[in-house]
């Protein structure tokens, strides 16, 4: 008899399984990524997604309060007493008509899933509570990640809030925003500033974790993705279990899109969801590996056998030209996404598309999101910029229902926001023009006044 929960290689020619306690996270036989897998037939399942609504009346139980664990029947790998929650996943799906007009959608058709409301200010907490609970199950004392800043902030918060593990975070030198760096430092994480970028840090942290037996919480860890599935459950819940036509998500390491795809495929296979939304992934143009491979070179899941030669040739080309990822959306400044194959699988079943957005498009979209009521960091706004592009191309129709994921909070990265709005020529030049941003098309300029009551009153009358 198989275990109720196990890990399974995603390569259909291998499918090797291993126990839930294994923390190597890549298949020991073929090196592919692994899934957390369940023997659903022997696990208690809801009869319909509506059954989860019963949890709303049990919010005094921390596992029902958590926006991740109130769906625990759909990620049943951890015994309740092992689960560590800090109240993650209390997020909102907000109808955003002003942003819909910018994107080119009819009023009432665009929704923003605001993951900036999480305790550490980004969607990462959804996955971290799951990985962290698994780390506890296997008795880990140290946990590590490479990060563009949000994973590290989330890990640091979980470690400091629970005092169960030491956080070790690898960041590229000068590559993360101050808001995120501040979080890691303030929460006491051992911070390793590597002379390199995220792709270098990701490679090193895997080597270090293996050599020192440190638990790895990057999204290569399939337990983290189990937690991130719940972002989609909450979207469905907010839409009263009616799937939208589109989910649009920024793409970096491609953990989110992989988790979203797994969430939908499982619900469909379990007969809990009739129609699957389409998935759109938006890269920053300066970090567009997935866009290039998927849209330009036609790389596909191909029943689990994606063209590895094409992938190797692409990365070889990047190396030969010394190409490094570069975008104002530092959270997604990634050229070697570890979840590439899982992302291909997600797009395969969910009619996926990939687009890229320039830093100009990202920042203009971000200003519209901010003016529309929800503050996000640049990477998050890639989703809105991408939705606008897909709308212009006619791939998304004006009357389709679209959900853009706002992955991180505005205060994570104020530098880009101030440079965009302030009108200070030097800051604009240093932070934005150097990245090809030409105009702050939707800037909200501060007005300069002398310390004179009459002038102040006059300025306010003119501008308001």
Kindly list the residues in this chain that would bind ligand F0G in the complex (CB under 6 A). 122, 124, 147-151, 219, 250-256, 331-332, 377, 379-380, 407-408
Residue closer to ligand F0G, measured from CB, 85 or 118: 118
How far apart are alpha carbons 119 and 154 in whole angstroms? 8
User: In sequence order, what are the beta bridge partners of 406?
Assistant: 114
Least distance in angstroms from the C-beta of 24 to ligand F0G? 21
Least distance in angstroms from the C-beta of 294 to ligand F0G? 14
| Other residues' Cβ atoms within 10 Å of the Cβ of residue 307 | 15
| Other residues' Cβ atoms within 10 Å of the Cβ of residue 178 | 12
Least distance in angstroms from the C-beta of 172 to ligand F0G? 10
Least distance in angstroms from the C-beta of 252 to ligand F0G? 3
How far apart are alpha carbons 421 and 431 in whole angstroms? 12
Least distance in angstroms from the C-beta of 115 to ligand F0G? 8
**∠ CA 222-238-69 to the nearest 5 degrees?**
40
Residue closer to ligand F0G, measured from CB, 206 or 380: 380
How far apart are alpha carbons 246 and 283 in whole angstroms? 16
Least distance in angstroms from the C-beta of 176 to ligand F0G? 8
Residue closer to ligand F0G, measured from CB, 331 or 432: 331
The full DSSP string for 115-175 is GGGSTTSBTHHHHHHHHHHHHHHTT-SEEEEEESSHHHHHHHHHHHHH-SSEEEEEEETT-
Residue closer to ligand F0G, measured from CB, 254 or 272: 254
Least distance in angstroms from the C-beta of 8 to ligand F0G? 21
Residue closer to ligand F0G, measured from CB, 18 or 258: 258
Q: State both tokens at 115.
A: 């993951």
Least distance in angstroms from the C-beta of 409 to ligand F0G? 9
Residue with tokens 């719940």: 230
**3-class SS of residue 113:** strand
User: Are 12 and 6 within 8 A, CB to CB?
Assistant: no
| Other residues' Cβ atoms within 10 Å of the Cβ of residue 297 | 14
Least distance in angstroms from the C-beta of 385 to ligand F0G? 13
Least distance in angstroms from the C-beta of 240 to ligand F0G? 27
Residue closer to ligand F0G, measured from CB, 85 or 335: 335
Phi/psi zone of residue 373: left (φ > 0), alpha (ψ -120 to 50 degrees), beta?
A: left
User: Are 236 and 49 within 8 A, CB to CB?
Assistant: yes
The full DSSP string for 45-111 is --SSGGGGGGGGGGTTSHHHHSTTGGGGGGSTTS-GGG---SSTT--EEEE-HHHHHHHT--TT-EE
Residue closer to ligand F0G, measured from CB, 149 or 244: 149
Residue closer to ligand F0G, measured from CB, 334 or 431: 334
Least distance in angstroms from the C-beta of 229 to ligand F0G? 12
Residue closer to ligand F0G, measured from CB, 109 or 219: 219
Give whole-number Cα distances, 86 to 114, 128, 160, 219, in Å. Answer: 18, 10, 11, 19
Residue closer to ligand F0G, measured from CB, 6 or 294: 294
The full DSSP string for 381-449 is HHHHHHHHHHHHTTSS-TTS-EEEEE-BBGGG-HHHHHHHHS--HHHIIIIIGGGT----TT--PPPP-
Residue closer to ligand F0G, measured from CB, 84 or 248: 248
How far apart are alpha carbons 412 and 153 in whole angstroms? 10
Residue closer to ligand F0G, measured from CB, 255 or 352: 255
Least distance in angstroms from the C-beta of 399 to ligand F0G? 28
Order the strands of the 190-194 sheet from edge to edge.
190-194, 166-172, 142-147, 215-216
Interior/surface letters 383-403, b for 16+ CB within 10 angstroms, e for the rest: bbbbbbbbbeeeebeeebbbb
Q: Which helix (H) or strand (E) holds 5?
A: strand 5-9
């Amino acid at each position: 008899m198989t275990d109720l929960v196990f890990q399974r290689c995603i390569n259909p020619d291998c499918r090797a399984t291993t126990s839930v306690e294994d923390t190597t996270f890549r298949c020991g036989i073929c090196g592919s990524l692994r899934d957390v897998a369940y023997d659903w037939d022997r696990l208690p399942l809801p009869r319909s997604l509506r059954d989860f609504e019963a949890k709303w009346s049990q919010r005094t139980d921390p596992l029902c309060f958590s926006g991740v664990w109130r769906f625990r029947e759909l990620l049943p790998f951890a015994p309740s007493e092992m689960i560590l929650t800090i109240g993650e996943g209390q997020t909102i799906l907000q109808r955003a008509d002003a942003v819909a007009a910018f994107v080119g959608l009819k009023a009432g058709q665009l929704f923003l899933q605001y993951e900036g409301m999480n305790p550490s200010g980004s969607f990462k907490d959804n996955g971290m509570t799951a990985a962290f609970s698994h780390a506890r199950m296997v008795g880990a004392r140290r946990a590590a990640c490479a990060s563009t800043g949000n994973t590290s902030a989330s890990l640091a918060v979980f470690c400091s809030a629970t005092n169960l593990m030491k956080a070790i975070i690898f960041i590229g030198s000068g590559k993360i925003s101050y808001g995120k760096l501040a979080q890691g430092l303030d929460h006491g994480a051992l911070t390793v500033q590597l002379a390199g970028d995220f792709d270098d840090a990701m490679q090193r942290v895997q080597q270090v974790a293996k050599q020192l037996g440190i638990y790895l919480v990057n999204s290569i860890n399939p337990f983290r993705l189990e937690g991130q599935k719940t972002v989609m459950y909450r979207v469905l819940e907010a839409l009263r279990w009616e799937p939208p036509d589109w989910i649009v998500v920024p793409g970096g390491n491609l953990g989110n899109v992989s988790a979203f795809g797994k969430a939908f495929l499982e619900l469909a296979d379990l007969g809990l969801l009739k129609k699957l939304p389409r998935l759109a992934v938006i890269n920053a143009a300066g970090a567009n590996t997935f866009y290039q491979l998927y849209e330009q070179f036609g790389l596909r899941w191909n029943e689990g056998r994606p063209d590895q030669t094409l992938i190797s040739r692409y990365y070889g080309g990047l190396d030969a030209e010394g190409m490094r990822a570069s975008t104002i959306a530092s959270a997604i400044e990634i050229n070697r996404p570890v979840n590439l194959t899982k992302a291909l699988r997600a797009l395969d079943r969910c009619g996926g598309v990939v687009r890229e957005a320039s830093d100009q498009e990202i920042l203009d979209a971000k200003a519209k999101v901010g003016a529309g009521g929800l503050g996000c960091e640049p990477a998050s706004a890639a989703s809105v910029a991408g939705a606008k592009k897909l709308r212009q191309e006619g791939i998304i129709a004006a009357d389709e229902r679209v959900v853009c994921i706002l992955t991180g909070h505005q205060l994570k990265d104020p530098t880009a926001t101030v440079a965009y709005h302030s009108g200070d020529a030097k800051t604009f030049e240093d932070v934005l023009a150097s990245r090809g941003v030409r105009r702050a098309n939707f800037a909200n300029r501060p007005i300069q006044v002398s310390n004179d009551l009459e002038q102040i009153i006059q300025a306010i009358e003119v501008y308001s």
